[in-house]
Amino acid sequence: MKLGLNTAKGVLLGLLLLPLSASCAPDGNGPMDERPMRVDMIVKMDRGDYWNTIRMGAEVAAKEFNVKLNFIAPDNENDYKEQIRLMEESIKRKPDAIVLAASDYEALGQVTDRTSYADIPVVSMDSEVASTKVKTYVGTNNYEAGQKAAQRLVELTGKESEIAIVNFVKGARNADQREEGFLDYVARFPGISVVDIQYCGSDEELAYRLTRRILEKHPGLDGLVSLSAESSIGAGRAVVELGLGGTLKLIAFDNPPEMLELLQEETVHAMVVQNPFNNGYMAVSAAVKAARGERLEDRIPTDTKLIDLDNMLWPENQKLLFPFVK
Amino acid sequence: MKWTRAIARLLKGFHFRKIQVLISFSSITITILAVVLVSFLLFNRFTKVAEENAYLNLGQIIEQVNANLEMYVSGMQDIFQVAQDKMSEASDITDEPKLKEQLETLLGTRQDLVSIALFTTEGELVRGVPAYPMRRNTRLTEQSWFESALRNPEELQFSPPHIQNLFKSEYRWVVSMSRLITYRDNSRDQEGVLVMDINFRTIDELSQRVSLGKKGYVYIIDSVGNIVYHPQQQLIYAGLKYENIEPVLNYAYGSYVDETEGEQRLITIQTVKPAGWKIVGVAYAEEFLTTRKELGGFLYGFLLAAIAVILVINLYVSARISQPIRRLERSVKMVEKGDFGTSVHVGGAYEVEQLSKRFNLMLRRIRELMDQIIREQEAKRKSELDVLQSQINPHFLYNTLNSVTRMAELGRTEEVVTTITSLSRFFRISLSKGDHIITVRDELEHIRHYLIIQTIRFKNKFTYEIHAEEGTLDCLTLKLILQPLVENAIHHGIEKSAEAGFIGVYARFAEDHLELIVKDNGIGMTEETLGKLLSGGIRSEKGSGVGVTNVQERVSLYYGKPYGLYFESEPEEGTSVTIKLPIVRAENPENTDKPGKGGENG
């Protein structure tokens, strides 16, 4: 009986203490209190509207998924050696995931393979990299984008014409694919000759100079295509300065505001617009999923659109072309 | 195997009608039901109140935003009105230097004003600030603000967010206010569309100031469902986020619960009157309605603990009540098995204590009675044996036969005949077919024959008298109760006395009983001897062996307490022994062999 009385007392004491423990329990287990995930995003360049918009998308995703985002890039888009170094540094930091926009398809392959030793998942964005360790690729179907540009240029110039290409980085997967798509489409028309292909290394100034040289060398040029934002800006400037606006058919890539102005001024006739915001956003969300060990599709494609003067002010295109800045 | 057996044993021991089971079951069920019911009611009541408060609170927050936005929008309307007045008042719109200054001042006052411009109904720029050159291909006549101003000439129009592509400046997202106004150009009244573009700075600020939990937010749509402002506008524009606007359009004011995202979201709607916009507050139920979860968690824990406590207390209490009863039961079982030495446990509840006390008393009484019965049975058996022995007392027979032989030698034939006859009668009654109970008549007959023999043997050393009162003869008595007394009287009273002895044997009624009295005039007894005699301390060696105590025992055994032997004795005076017997009459009294009324000499 004595034992019975003691246990009864113990239980009563427990009952008194219970409200305290119960009221404490629900706190401190919300998902908000988790340690933020660290994601390194290594891109080709930290300047330019294209990369800024990617960064915006990435940061929105980072906020949403509680990610500490480390956005890093070499100064120059074709400096793949610096990018390899950045990758190596990043592997040492051991983030939860890495998002990589590779400047060079081949050169970045080895360092990307090495991430698997450190057990860091890698998501490839914007342009692919020669590594099987990549969990997924988020970005434009570049080959298709190149074809879209070619299709519109052919419509504008006709089937008997001379055209030139201002590309950006030779060896970068996206540049190569766009060029390939473009050339493959144009090859269907025997009357069309591609007279020149230049690489500006994503340098606006170089693109401007290269374009001037092309235009001076080929005065009868009917069409010009520039395959990146920077090469488009340079090419656009050259065309305006040479007073060829309107007569030379110019197809640009991406949507820096300068190009949109030129589109409205009818110097640029059409532009292939990627969705950099979505690229950035979806790359980070894919990286979060990869870090959690979820399975991902091999490719997460984002759309490209061909924008011209007629459709640039359509509400949905306004939303695509102009980042919403408050 | 072991545990199945253990369970089987447990089930065997388990009985639904056990007190412990009954008490436990009923009280546990009732208390648990009560606790659960109370918890449930409390939970519902509290959560309801908390939810009502949450909705009220939410409504108030949105109301506040609404008030701020209405103030802001009406402020903008005022500015628009000022701009309109200035434009209309100007005597010549193109040639009024003061107008430009005034408009620029107006624009300068607010950082959220992007531009003010007046267009002709054909879309030609009349005047505008800031004075940037126009872009080509603006296609402004196709834009919504222009079209709606022409369509609704009276009212001020608010456009959905769009890109301002009119001037060579940045492309910016703006909301345009527009109205068809009249102005004077070249002294002629003209109609034109006045447009004022506002950026999102203040709207954003006002909406961001709201706190609807960590995840909650406020967004604004116009009357047809275009999103005017959303904290994640870019995500929505990019198609990465979706806002379920359709149900919102059905409300001007009010709130509802939306579950399209899998989470419960409380949607609260208010309308900004001047612009026709709707402010939509989105709060997440899991953040806003925490009471339900917290209270639920608490009550759940409380319930478990309460049930645990109730169980323990219950088991304890019911055990307290039922244990003593079970112990009592076990004790009774022992008694049932024949162990009367068991002492029942006394303790536990008052009733049980009383019960076991009574039971103990009963048990003791039973024990006593049993002992008594055993003793009585033993005494009975012994006395019966004694009686049996006395029936064939060899000593008496030997003495009698001895005296008969002597008489025969002397030739006293008559005496021999008398003695032999009496002896045979004596024995006949002694045996009396084995009955214990005989009539007083037989008993007196028996003693008469005994006395005849003894008077012959003792050569008339004493005389005797036998007298029976009317009616006593047919009463019943235990047999052979007089003979030991008479024997005593002869051996201890008369034989030792020098005087001529007398023995009287009487039967009479006294009050409600029968008395058989044996009187002698022998040496009598002292008080001391009398006491010894009654306690069985003195036993005659010569006698029949059936002592006085034996008679006493037999009578009291057979008839019970008040009946038995009563002695009166005085030394040198004689002794009188009275045997008290109940009056029991024989069923068919024999009227033969009437004993002699008077004295009879042997």
Cβ distance A261 to B168 less than 8 Å, yes or no, reads yes
pLDDT at residue B546, rounded to an integer: 53
pLDDT at residue B206, rounded to an integer: 85
Structural domains in chain B (count): 2
Here the tokens at position B236 are 């929505």
Here the tokens at position B212 are 């609807």
Query: Is residue B209 within 8 angstroms of chain A, CB to CB?
Result: no
Question: Which of A285-294, B135-144, B367-376, B496-505 ranks highest by mean pLDDT?
Answer: A285-294
Question: Which residues in B lie closer than 8 A to residue A270 (C-beta atoms)?
Answer: none
The CA angle A35-A38-A40, to the nearest 5 degrees, is 175
Q: Could you identify the residue written with the tokens 């949905």?
A: A316
SS (H, E, C) chain A: CHHHHHHHHHHHHHHHHHHHHHHHCCCCCCHHHCCCEEEEEECCCCCHHHHHHHHHHHHHHHHHCCEEEEEECCCCCCCHHHHHHHHHHHHHHCCCEEEECCCCCCCCHHHHHHCCCCCCCEEEECCCCCCCCEEEEEEECHHHHHHHHHHHHHHHHCCCEEEEEEECCCCCHHHHHHHHHHHHHHCCCCCEEEEEEEECCCCHHHHHHHHHHHHHHCCCCCEEEECCHHHHHHHHHHHHHCCCECCEEEEEECCCHHHHHHHHCCCCCEEEECCHHHHHHHHHHHHHHHHCCCCCCCEEEECCEEECCCCCCCHHHHHHHCCCCC
Query: Is residue B136 within 8 angstroms of chain A, CB to CB?
Result: yes
As a whole number of angstroms, the distance between CA B166 and CA A8 comes to 83
Assign B387 a pLDDT band (cuts: 50, 70, 90): low
Question: What SS3 state is found at B342?
Answer: coil
Q: Among partner residues A7, A19, A275, which is closest to B238 by beta-carbon distance?
A: A275
Query: Is residue B171 within 8 angstroms of chain A, CB to CB?
Result: yes
Give the domain range for residue B550: 392-582
Domain segments of chain A as ranges:
35-140+276-303, 143-273
As a whole number of angstroms, the distance between CA A174 and CA A241 comes to 29
As a whole number of angstroms, the distance between CA A139 and CA A299 comes to 8
pLDDT at residue A198, rounded to an integer: 93
Question: Which residues in A lie closer than 8 A to residue B232 (C-beta atoms)?
Answer: 60
Report which of A40, A95, A112 is spatially closest to residue A71, judged by C-alpha positions: A40
Domain A143-273: what homologous superfamily?
Response regulator (3.40.50.2300)
pLDDT at residue B538, rounded to an integer: 54
CA distances from A300 to A240, B25, B143, B217, B600 (A): 37, 63, 35, 29, 151
DSSP line for B69-138: HHHHHHHHHHHHHHHHHHHHH-SSSSS-HHHHHHHHHHHHH-TTEEEEEEEETTS-EEEEES-PPBPS--
Region B152-161: mean pLDDT is 88
Residue A166: pLDDT above 90? yes
Region B141-158: mean pLDDT is 90
**Distance (Å) from the C-alpha of residue A30 to the closest C-alpha of chain B?**
10
Out of A57-71, A183-197, B306-320, which region has the weakest mean confidence (pLDDT)?
B306-320
Backbone angles phi, psi at B538, to 5 degrees: -110, 130
Report which of B271, B219, B274, B272 is spatially closest to residue B250, judged by C-alpha positions: B271
Query: Is residue B219 within 8 angstroms of chain A, CB to CB?
Result: no
A-chain residue closest to B231, CA distance:
A326
Contact A164, A249 (CB under 8 A): no
pLDDT at residue B539, rounded to an integer: 52
Q: Which helix H or strand E contains B283, and what residues bound it?
A: strand B277-284
**Distance (Å) from the C-alpha of residue A231 to the closest C-alpha of chain B?**
21
Question: What SS3 state is found at B481?
Answer: coil
Contact B466, B451 (CB under 8 A): yes
Q: Does residue B575 lie within any of the structural domains?
A: yes
Cβ distance B136 to A266 less than 8 Å, yes or no, reads yes
CA distances from A280 to A139, A298, B43, B179 (A): 9, 17, 46, 40
Backbone angles phi, psi at A166, to 5 degrees: -110, 105
Contact A256, A48 (CB under 8 A): yes
Q: Which of A313, A314, A317 to mutate to test the interface with B (most CBs of B within 10 A)?
A: A313
Q: Does residue B557 lie within any of the structural domains?
A: yes
Lay out the sheet containing B254-258: strands in order across: B227-229, B217-221, B277-284, B265-272, B254-258
Burial of B369 (0-12, 13-18, 19+ CB in 10 A): exposed
- Please name the residues in contact with B319: beta carbons below 8 A apart, sequence gap of 6 or more: A4, B20
Q: Which of A277, A324, A325 to mutate to test the interface with B (most CBs of B within 10 A)?
A: A324
Here the tokens at position A289 are 């999923």
User: 3.40.50.2300, 3.40.50.1580, 1.10.260.40, 3.40.50.150: which CATH number matches A35-140+276-303?
Assistant: 3.40.50.2300
Number of other CB atoms surrounding residue A42 within 10 Å: 24
Query: Is residue B375 within 8 angstroms of chain A, CB to CB?
Result: no
The CA angle B68-B73-B77, to the nearest 5 degrees, is 145
Here the tokens at position A16 are 């008194």
Cβ distance A18 to B305 less than 8 Å, yes or no, reads yes
pLDDT at residue B529, rounded to an integer: 76
Q: Does residue B481 lie within any of the structural domains?
A: yes
As a whole number of angstroms, the distance between CA A133 and CA A119 comes to 10
More confident residue, B196 or A47: B196
Q: Among partner residues A19, A282, A325, which is closest to B298 by beta-carbon distance?
A: A19
Question: What SS3 state is found at B339?
Answer: coil
Rounded to the nearest angstrom, the gap between the alpha carbon of residue A168 and the centroid of all alpha carbons in its chain is 15
As a whole number of angstroms, the distance between CA B420 and CA B404 comes to 8
pTM of the model: 0.59
As a whole number of angstroms, the distance between CA B590 and CA A263 comes to 160
Report which of A186, A187, A211, A192 is spatially closest to residue A200, judged by C-alpha positions: A211
Cβ distance A26 to B293 less than 8 Å, yes or no, reads yes
pLDDT at residue B391, rounded to an integer: 55
Residue A288: pLDDT above 80? yes
- Please name the residues in contact with B558: beta carbons below 8 A apart, sequence gap of 6 or more: B436, B478
Backbone angles phi, psi at B143, to 5 degrees: -80, 155
pLDDT digit string, tens, across residues B80-127: 999 999 888 887 777 777 888 888 888 888 888 999 999 999 888 888
pLDDT at residue B466, rounded to an integer: 93
Contact B282, B236 (CB under 8 A): no
Contact B293, B286 (CB under 8 A): yes
Q: Among partner residues B232, B233, B316, which is closest to A8 by beta-carbon distance?
A: B316
More confident residue, B540 or B228: B228
Assign B392 a pLDDT band (cuts: 50, 70, 90): low
Backbone angles phi, psi at B222, to 5 degrees: -90, 180
What CATH number is associated with residue B94?
3.30.450.20
Contact A163, A191 (CB under 8 A): no
Q: Which of residues 237-266 of B touch A (CB under 8 A)?
A: 237-240
Question: Bridge-partner residues for B280, per DSSP?
Answer: B219, B269
Report which of A113, A14, A69, A49 is spatially closest to residue A288, judged by C-alpha positions: A69
As a whole number of angstroms, the distance between CA B203 and CA A46 comes to 31
As a whole number of angstroms, the distance between CA A55 and CA A63 comes to 12
B-chain residue closest to A20, CA distance:
B298
Q: Which of B46, B147, B163 to mutate to test the interface with A (most CBs of A within 10 A)?
A: B163
pLDDT at residue B223, rounded to an integer: 85
Burial of B328 (0-12, 13-18, 19+ CB in 10 A): buried
**Distance (Å) from the C-alpha of residue A177 to the closest C-alpha of chain B?**
25
pLDDT at residue B431, rounded to an integer: 77
What CATH number is associated with residue B473?
3.30.565.10
Cβ distance B297 to A322 less than 8 Å, yes or no, reads no
> What is the share, in percent, of chain A residues with pLDDT greater than 90?
60
As a whole number of angstroms, the distance between CA A179 and CA A168 comes to 10
Region A3-29: mean pLDDT is 40
As a whole number of angstroms, the distance between CA A254 and CA B166 comes to 22
> In this structure, which long-range contacts are made by residues A312-321, counting pairs with CB atoms below 8 Å and at least 24 apart in sequence?
A312/A260, A312/A263, A312/A264, A313/B139, A313/B142, A313/B143, A313/B162, A313/B163, A313/B165, A315/B160, A315/B162, A318/B162, A318/B163, A319/B237, A319/B238, A320/A255, A320/A273, A320/A275, A320/B237, A320/B238, A321/A255, A321/A260, A321/A273, A321/B163
Out of A144-148, B495-499, B507-511, which region has the weakest mean confidence (pLDDT)?
B495-499
Q: Which of B234, B236, B307, B312 to mutate to test the interface with A (most CBs of A within 10 A)?
A: B234
As a whole number of angstroms, the distance between CA A190 and CA A204 comes to 32
Question: What SS3 state is found at B337?
Answer: coil
Residue B162: pLDDT above 50? yes
Residue A111: pLDDT above 70? yes
Assign B578 a pLDDT band (cuts: 50, 70, 90): very high
Query: Is residue B137 within 8 angstroms of chain A, CB to CB?
Result: yes
Residues listed for chain A:
326
* E strands present in B132-187: 157-158, 162-164, 172-185
Report which of B53, B459, B566 is spatially closest to residue B289, judged by C-alpha positions: B53
Region A224-249: mean pLDDT is 91
**Distance (Å) from the C-alpha of residue B562 to the closest C-alpha of chain A?**
54
Largest CA distance in chain B: 204
Residue B232: DSSP 8-state: T
pLDDT digit string, tens, across residues B538-565: 554 454 445 777 788 778 878 877 888 8
pLDDT at residue B328, rounded to an integer: 79
Burial of B374 (0-12, 13-18, 19+ CB in 10 A): exposed
Q: Among partner residues A4, A5, A318, which is closest to B163 by beta-carbon distance?
A: A318
As a whole number of angstroms, the distance between CA B500 and CA A272 comes to 170
Region A249-275: mean pLDDT is 90
